Structure 1
Amino acid sequence: MLTAKDTAAVTPAALTGQDLDAAPIRTDRANRVDFDTVVRLDALKGRKRFRGTMSLLSLTTDVVSIVAGFFLAGLVYLGSIENDHALNMVAVCVPMFLLFSLNNNAHNTRKVLNLTSGVTSAAGALILAAGCLLLIAFFMKIGAEFSRGVFFLGVAFSLFGIIASRTLTRILFRKRLDEGVYAILCIYDGVPMGPGAGPGAIEARSMGLHPDLASAVAVNRLGTLAKGMDRVVIHCVPAAREAWALALKTLDVRCEIVVPELDSFAALSISERSGHTSLLLNSGRMAWNHQLMKRAFDLAISLAALPVLLPFFALVALAIKLDSRGPVFFRQERIGLGNRPFMIWKFRSMRTEACDANGSRSTSRDDDRITRVGRILRSTSIDELPQILNVISGDMSLVGPRPHAFGSRAENALFWDIDQRYWQRHVVKPGLTGLAQIRGFRGATEQKTDLTKRLQSDLEYVSNWSLMSDIRILLGTAFVVFHKNAF
């Protein structure tokens, strides 16, 4: 790092090692040398080192937690810390844990930043390692050297240690983590800086930067400033993009050029077709293996639950028939996968003559169309249970965006008129429950924001699908079955 006494000699030679241009790096402030920016960028590069330290710290504390957990289990269960049971378990469990945790990135930056995700990944790796330990003990017929009490207590203590150590680390370094852990150099060339430009934002001219590959000073100066950064981002006028693109290709860090004209396309990625650049706007349906996993999961849960639900369905059907005239089930056309219609199954909760086939009128809290039994069914979400038949038939999934009728409105506007991204939610099958529902976004869509909040959650689910997310949403649904907006 440059020191204060070196400020008078901040030249391209000082920054690049080549004395090809004697003009110092200046700012617009009365030709002062921009020493403050050089120091700020140098401090920013420390984030990369901090990130590595945090990853190493999380790995170390996890291993220490496992070692301490098993030896503590030996002390509690056998009364002595000097025993072969804990030592043998640690000798097998720690290497297996490292293998699984490094494989699922339990110690990378994203997992360190997100406490829940980090603990879940580390705990998953520990459980897999413990499972391998059990298999080894079983196949090698280890009996006297394997204490089940030490094993189960050791796993429990280790899990507690991992959770406690990661929580404590997050608390101790919270301020530093919240400030950001990525070193991003944002260069503005001919365009104004935005209000949230960040600590790595600089003006190209004030730092003497220009994308001139014919100048060794220009190339080396850019390379010197980029050294130690995680990413270099260029904000420039359209005419300068090609020159900057060539200059960025000379760097050994990840580089980007911001192109605001593409914002309206909301592209997922950039590809190439027939020698021309193309924008990927939609990835289509899930990969075939993900479809297979999701379908197998849906059928396994639905078919297992159906025998249990059928007697309950019969009782609900009897209550509906005794309460009002009309069919037990209500069927309505809804928007499904690929924006194609399908017929949904529900228990009838309204008077037959008042049922809304188009769904143009949202159900209100004191809706006079709802029957006495129907009010109970809706408040407990029991009226939705017949949709398990839609899941079995393949029209729906257990988890996904909730299907809407074609006439659904908010503030008298059709959903797709409120936000044209609405159609994007249908690249996956609709679900019995979804991310929006466990976040509390359910009930009547009286305001446009009622729709946009749900839509945002639906699109988030579509973008980040995993089998574990489906399981978490199903478990989370149990806590929102009874909800103030269920009517």
Structure 2
Amino acid sequence: MALQTRYNYLLRFILPITDVLMLIGIYYLASFVTASFGSLITDELNKNHVVISTLLWFISTAVFGLYTAYGARRLERIYRGTWRSIALHFVLFISYLIFFNEDNFSRAFLVIFYLLTATAFIINRFIGTSIQYIVLYKFKEAKKIAVMGSNGTALRLSTYLQKQRNVEFYGFVGDDDSIYDQNKGFVSDIVSEKLNEAVNHGVKEVYVAVAPQRMSDVKALVAEADKQCIRLKFIPDLGASMGSPFTISYMGGEFPIITLRHEPLEEMGNRFKKRAFDIVFSSLVIFFILSWLYPIIAILIKLESRGPVLFKQLRSGRNDEPFWCYKFRSMTVNAESDDKQATKDDVRVTAIGRFLRKTSLDEMPQFFNVFLGNMSVVGPRPHMLKHTEQYKEIINEFMVRHFMKPGITGWAQVSGFRGETRERSDMENRVKADIHYLENWTGMLDVKIIFMTIINAVRGEENAF
């Protein structure tokens, strides 16, 4: 539940109307200014393209959720969504003109139109910020909120409320002892006085951090709040009983679900974005790089030793489901490939294989795995089945890394935890890094890891053997 004022709520509906009117006005103003410089635009182009421009604006804002309840909830999101929408509108509009061969469309108009658009939207958002400041602070329209409780949840909540611009944090109106019935069904005089004082200062809501098992002991507090016309909002204090960070969501808007681990990729939208990126990225690598690199490496492998070009091995995938993982063969054919890790100066590694491993080129065929969907470009590295069985018995949370698809590269690899795991601590550090990635995934983190992987491959890695 978001903390909203009437201003924020109305802004969600006012914003698209004012933006569209402003965009259309800027379009005609830019036409007039362009004409004054001697570059004419026909009326027919004006009529057609102002409609296209408006439609593309709605598409751009829909992509970044500018007018959604989430996007319009905070001014920072409005600013960010506005800039992104203008940039996307520019790309889409230019693409439209190029695609339909509108060669007679004025370049000067485009420059003037987007300069005026950027300027006008800056002024518009600045005015919006000023209005919010005046409404919330000068006219004292910000909702006043108080907190009751002295537990960890109450303290965290107070910190959160103090950072919110659209509400005013009044302070605490009682500790943990003030919450529960202690005086034969009545609250103490001190609690009653504090609530009354809060009401006199304009407080309308009090957030109470309460232990779930003691909800039956708050009847007296509820009765006193009703008497003083205060709305109570109860927040479960689970900190004392839960041993790790957790999040609460609702199934069907009715059943609370406590999740002990934050997993961004459990959200369908994020999974779709990551999969779309994987398909596009792997397709480009297969078409532009593997199309010529594969035959070159294949010839070199065949010239040096007998055996297949590709090495395939069953490895542990998402949800511990096995899949065939592909690599360029970097060793002589041997009976230990499914049991023994490669080690430094391993006699099984061929000369061309040593180069492939050092530059990570031996992993390139895994882009086929990515395209097929059993791997991702970025994720925890997959282990052979025997090692999965071995490590899950001795490493805490080892199997957590299998909650997501394995990757060609990962946070653990670019953080220095690549290669042979001689000590137990080596694998523990790798697991910690993989879980960090699982809990903190973003699209930009994937891009960062890819760039770090390329840099490491060019530079050469000490643990690549």
- TM-score greater than 0.5 by the shorter chain: yes
* Partners of 1:355 and 1:369 within 8 A in 2: no
Alpha-carbon distance, 1:124 to partner: 3.8
Aligned-partner SS, 2:324: strand
Tell me what 1:457 maps to.
437
Alpha-carbon distance, 1:70 to partner: 9.4
Alpha-carbon distance, 1:385 to partner: 1.2
Cα pair distance change 1:157/1:312, threshold 3 Å: farther
1:443 equivalent to 2:422? Answer no
Tell me what 1:473 maps to.
446
Tell me what 2:136 maps to.
none
Cα pair distance change 1:235/1:398, threshold 3 Å: same
1:188 equivalent to 2:164? Answer no
- CA distance in 1: counterparts of 2:38 and 2:259, whole angstroms: 62
Alpha-carbon distance, 1:318 to partner: 1.8
1:414 equivalent to 2:394? Answer no
Per-residue CA deviation, residues 428-456 of structure 1 (Å, 9 max, x unaligned), is 3323345x279656624637434312321
1:431 equivalent to 2:407? Answer yes
* Partners of 1:226 and 1:253 within 8 A in 2: no
Tell me what 2:317 maps to.
336
2:84 to 89, 100, 123: 123
Tell me what 1:79 maps to.
37
Aligned-partner SS, 1:481: helix
Which is worse superposed, 439-448 or 152-161?
152-161
* Partners of 1:441 and 1:454 within 8 A in 2: no
* Partners of 1:66 and 1:154 within 8 A in 2: no
1:314 to 284, 288, 295: 295
Alpha-carbon distance, 1:66 to partner: 10
Aligned-partner SS, 1:342: strand
Amino acid in structure 1 at the alignment position of 2:391: L
Q: Which structure 2 segments of 5+ residues have no match? A: 130-141, 163-168
* Partners of 2:86 and 2:118 within 8 A in 1: no
* Partners of 1:330 and 1:348 within 8 A in 2: yes
- CA distance in 2: counterparts of 1:203 and 1:226, whole angstroms: 14
Tell me what 1:147 maps to.
106
1:403 equivalent to 2:374? Answer no
Tell me what 1:178 maps to.
none
- CA distance in 2: counterparts of 1:147 and 1:227, whole angstroms: 58
Tell me what 1:243 maps to.
218
- CA distance in 2: counterparts of 1:161 and 1:384, whole angstroms: 50
Per-residue CA deviation, residues 251-276 of structure 1 (Å, 9 max, x unaligned), is 66865222125524765535589x99
1:205 to 174, 182, 185: 174
Alpha-carbon distance, 1:119 to partner: 4.0
- CA distance in 1: counterparts of 2:316 and 2:197, whole angstroms: 53
Aligned-partner SS, 2:313: strand
- CA distance in 2: counterparts of 1:416 and 1:72, whole angstroms: 69
Tell me what 1:234 maps to.
209
Amino acid in structure 1 at the alignment position of 2:174: R
* Partners of 1:398 and 1:432 within 8 A in 2: yes
Tell me what 2:363 maps to.
384
Cα pair distance change 1:482/1:191, threshold 3 Å: closer
Amino acid in structure 1 at the alignment position of 2:37: G
Alpha-carbon distance, 1:336 to partner: 0.5
Tell me what 1:101 maps to.
61
Amino acid in structure 2 at the alignment position of 1:378: R
Cα pair distance change 1:109/1:482, threshold 3 Å: same
* Partners of 1:400 and 1:433 within 8 A in 2: yes
Percent of pairs with identical residues: 20
Per-residue CA deviation, residues 405-464 of structure 1 (Å, 9 max, x unaligned), is 35669xxx93774442x4334333323345x27965662463743431232112333xx6
Alpha-carbon distance, 1:158 to partner: 5.2
Q: TM-score, normalised by structure 1?
A: 0.57
Aligned-partner SS, 2:109: helix
Amino acid in structure 2 at the alignment position of 1:430: P
1:348 equivalent to 2:325? Answer no
1:373 to 334, 338, 352: 352
- CA distance in 1: counterparts of 2:143 and 2:376, whole angstroms: 38
Aligned-partner SS, 1:260: coil
* Partners of 1:381 and 1:481 within 8 A in 2: no
Alpha-carbon distance, 1:394 to partner: 3.8
Amino acid in structure 1 at the alignment position of 2:431: L
Q: TM-score, normalised by structure 2?
A: 0.59
* Partners of 1:187 and 1:203 within 8 A in 2: yes
- CA distance in 2: counterparts of 1:375 and 1:111, whole angstroms: 54
Q: How large is the RMSD of aligned CA atoms in angstroms?
A: 6.3
Alpha-carbon distance, 1:346 to partner: 0.9
Alpha-carbon distance, 1:382 to partner: 1.7
Cα pair distance change 1:149/1:406, threshold 3 Å: farther
* Partners of 2:330 and 2:353 within 8 A in 1: yes
Amino acid in structure 2 at the alignment position of 1:150: F
Amino acid in structure 1 at the alignment position of 2:366: Q
Cα pair distance change 1:480/1:153, threshold 3 Å: farther
Cα pair distance change 1:236/1:297, threshold 3 Å: closer
